[in-house]
Amino acid sequence: MSKLAIVKVRLDREVNGYIVSCSSTKEAVVVDPGLPVEKIAEQLKGLKVRYILATHCHPGHVAGKDDLKELVGGETALHSADAKQFLRSADRYLVDGDELEFGEFKLTVLHTPGHTPGSVCFVVANHAFVGDTILAGGIGKQTPETDLRRQMMSIGTKLLRLPLATALYPGHGPATSLEREMAQNPIFRGAPAPR
Ligand SMILES: [Zn+2]
Ligand SMILES: [Zn+2]
């Protein structure tokens, strides 16, 4: 059985980039192509990049996408609502429910607007790459584009539907799990329990 490998790359502005790859086919997906791209490319040796995906279009999470593509190939993708908000383009525009295949794995796109209008989370098996929608012990820094009410709604209707054991890989800070955040994250105080 092929295994999923996840490598975290620490990028400028304290952004976490992730390289998710299939151990048997060596096909990979990059989540959040920030800068410097060389640091990401270094970790991609021996892997074939299928997609370069942005959880949202704040510069720290997306600034390296075109340079990285030039270096390592792959198709760039982001949500159209953020393309519009931040005047960014990509090879492909993601919508809720999209499924992207790499190797023997499948990545599902969840549109989770709030932090930005086009924020998305990426789910692979029991792992979720959640950008700034939720961090360990909090949420991403609020910006003028942030709609907090919508963000809480996205967390409640999309993320809380995932199994409790789902590991969460945020755009900043340490990895966590849905279960741990349900118990400890202040945003869940008073939130309805998941079904
Ligand atoms: Zn952000
Ligand atoms: Zn961020």
* Domain limits, the chain: 4-188
Q: Where are the beta strands (DSSP E) in 32-175?
A: 48-53, 75-79, 92-94, 99-102, 105-111, 120-124, 127-131, 167-170
Tell me which ligand sits closest to the C-alpha of residue 11: 2
Which run of H or E residues covers position 30? strand 27-31
Query: Whole-prediction pTM value?
Result: 0.96
Q: What is the mean pLDDT of residues 5-31?
A: 98
* pLDDT grade for 189, boundaries at 50, 70 and 90: confident
CA distances, 134 to each of 91, 115, 169 (Å): 27, 9, 9
When the candidates are 3.40.50.920, 3.60.15.10, 3.40.50.10800, 3.40.50.2020, the CATH number that belongs to 4-188 is: 3.60.15.10
Q: Quick one: pLDDT at residue 62?
A: 98
Top pLDDT among 190 and 59 is at 59
Ion ligand 2 — residues with CB < 5 Å: 132, 171
1 Cα: distance to centroid of ligand 2 (angstroms): 34
Three-state secondary-structure class, residue 182: helix
* pLDDT grade for 1, boundaries at 50, 70 and 90: confident
132 Cα: distance to centroid of ligand 1 (angstroms): 5
How high is the mean pLDDT of the chain? 96
